[in-house]
Amino acid sequence: MKIKIFYFARLKETLKFSTEDLELPDDEYAGLTVLKLKAHLAKRSDVWQQMLLGKLKVRGAINHELVDDSAALSDGDEVAFFPPVTGG
Amino acid sequence: MKIKIFYFARLKETLKFSTEDLELPDDEYAGLTVLKLKAHLAKRSDVWQQMLLGKLKVRGAINHELVDDSAALSDGDEVAFFPPVTGG
Amino acid sequence: MTIRIQTQDFDAGLEIKQLRHARKDTGAVVSFIGQVRDINEGDTVSLLTLEHYPGMTEKALQSITDQAKSRWDIFDVLIIHRVGTMQPSDQIVLVAVISAHRGEAFKACEFIMDYLKTEAPFWKKEVTQQGDKTAERWVEAKITDDEARQRWAKPY
Amino acid sequence: MTIRIQTQDFDAGLEIKQLRHARKDTGAVVSFIGQVRDINEGDTVSLLTLEHYPGMTEKALQSITDQAKSRWDIFDVLIIHRVGTMQPSDQIVLVAVISAHRGEAFKACEFIMDYLKTEAPFWKKEVTQQGDKTAERWVEAKITDDEARQRWAKPY
């Protein structure tokens, strides 16, 4: 399964990543949810752990739609992680 | 007692009066209210009767403040009669 | 606080710009423009004439604005209301409110409009076209305007 | 319906004028302008930078506008939101709504702003002056914005 991930605002700045393409073995990552993806990424380092599963509120989007942690991911999806929005 | 009266919109147009100065004998018109003034003016003709005490809703003001029919008039007051407002 | 009654048109963009620049801590600007519709109660409207009660009009608008300022945390208010003869799409009224945050400005602006519609001494007369016939008529007050004003009387 | 995300400033007066002239039966124009405040949480703000998520931003604003159009009897909506770096008193956002009568336009405009504030992917970072010190910080989301949005979820 291939997905594209975007990071915005404080996440982008702290993780020093604005986007990445991620390939995950289909058998191991069947039924991948947003929460499971966060947990997978959090294993990279303490900073990733803090930013994705720490006390900072993180919102997720799949293909430009806001989703909950329980949302399921499909091959080719565009995923994004960011803090609560502050526009307007 | 001397008062000044203004008429606006449909009242002005129909009565053919935009303003008038009215002098009323103090003894006869002590405790004059807006309603009593309307009744006094209504005696002038059928048209005055219809416009001031007919089915048209008439609002009154004393010295630029909206008032009820029961409001009391004093010497020197500026009184106005007009239909419900329709600005904005 | 500025209240203007005038026959000439106004530049709403310029007025709003001047108002919002008055304070550097302004975060929100809510404005309402009322304009002449080309239709009313099913009939084509070609002209609208606005009459008012000079002296009382200014006082009524001042009182409405004072009430808004005492109820909501707003910085400033601008009201411009035209009188005289206007055509469809012409501007009739501008109410603009500035505040730190948007909630207060939205409420104050709508409150001022709802009160202006029911308490400020303006009257509209319109020229309508009904087929070949041209007719003049006074615009009737709407119950929905009284209801809109009533909402604000509730405890808040 | 027009949605624009841009770095350059805009002429709010001209935009509002074009919008209200689009239909001759427009009677009400309600607009909101959000601008950069020179103070936030007690600190002087000298610069504000807005970042967004291209692609999602437009879809989120489109969805918010569609919801407003399905809930209220409005003619048209214009949203302009700037991104990039701005100074105090600079315009950030314009939301303008036209309708026949004012109640619908007021509700729709405030609804759009309340949803934009909580669902459209924009993030603000500000440069503050604290005495001699210059600091950069991300603006925190406000609970009051979530509460403002929640009001619209009630049955209507």
Looking at residue A29, what is its pLDDT? 84
Looking at chain C, which residue has its C-alpha nearest residue D117?
Answer: C102
User: What are residue D109's phi and psi, to 5 degrees?
Assistant: -65, -45
Instruction: Name chain A contacts of D117, Cβ cutoff 8 Å.
Output: 85-88
H helical segments located in D80-142: 102-119
Copy the structure tokens of residue B2. 């001397």
pLDDT tens digit sequence for D1-50: 999 999 999 999 999 999 999 999 999 999 999 999 999 999 999 999 99
Torsion angle (degrees, nearest 10) of CA A50, A53, A59, A62: 110
| CA A7 – CA D150 distance, rounded (Å) | 27
DSSP string computed for B44-83: T-HHHHHHHHSSS--EEEETTEEE-TTPBP-TT-EEEEEP
| pLDDT (mean) for A61-75 | 97
Which letter, b or e, does each residue of C94-133 get, where b requires 16 or more Cβ atoms within 10 Å of its Cβ? Answer: bbbbbbbbbbbbbbbbbbbbbbbbbbbbbbbbbbbeeeee
- Touching subunits of C (3+ CB pairs, under 8 Å) are B, D
Question: In terms of Cα–Cα distance, which of D64, D93, D92, D59 is closest to D79?
Answer: D93
Hey, which bits of A8-43 come out as E strands? 19-23
Mean pLDDT across chain C, nearest whole number?
A: 96
| pLDDT (mean) for D129-133 | 87
Looking at chain D, which residue has its C-alpha nearest residue A64?
Answer: D56
Backbone region of residue D84 per phi and psi (left: phi > 0; alpha: psi in -120 to 50; beta: other values) = left
Which letter, b or e, does each residue of B22-39 get, where b requires 16 or more Cβ atoms within 10 Å of its Cβ? Answer: eebeeeebeebbbebbbe
Q: Is the dihedral of CA C100, C101, C104, C106 positive or negative?
A: positive
Quick one: pLDDT band at residue B26, thresholds 50, 70, 90? confident
Looking at residue A86, what is its pLDDT? 98
Looking at residue C131, what is its pLDDT? 81
> Is the confidence at residue D156, as pLDDT, over 60?
no
Looking at residue C89, what is its pLDDT? 98
Distance from CA of C4 to the nearest CA of D (A): 19
ipTM of the complex: 0.95
Q: Which amino acid, one-letter code, is at C9? A: D
First to last CA, chain A: 36
Instruction: Name chain A contacts of D59, Cβ cutoff 8 Å.
Output: 64-65
Quick one: pLDDT band at residue D154, thresholds 50, 70, 90? low
CB-nearest to D121 from A8, A10, A57 is A8
Q: What share of chain B is helix, strand, coil (3-state, %, to 5)?
A: 25, 30, 45
> Is the confidence at residue C87, as pLDDT, over 80?
yes
Indicate the DSSP class of residue D102: H
pLDDT tens digit sequence for D68-106: 999 999 999 999 999 999 999 999 999 999 999 999 999
| CA A81 – CA A65 distance, rounded (Å) | 11
pTM: 0.96
Note whether D63 and D100 are within 8 A (CB): no
pLDDT tens digit sequence for A7-61: 999 999 999 999 999 999 988 888 899 999 999 999 999 999 999 999 999 999 9
pLDDT tens digit sequence for B47-72: 999 999 999 999 999 999 999 999 99
Please report which helix (H) or strand (E) contains residue C40, including its range. strand C39-40
Instruction: Name chain A contacts of D121, Cβ cutoff 8 Å.
Output: 8, 61, 80, 82, 85, 87
Looking at residue D97, what is its pLDDT? 98
Copy the structure tokens of residue A50. 């803090």
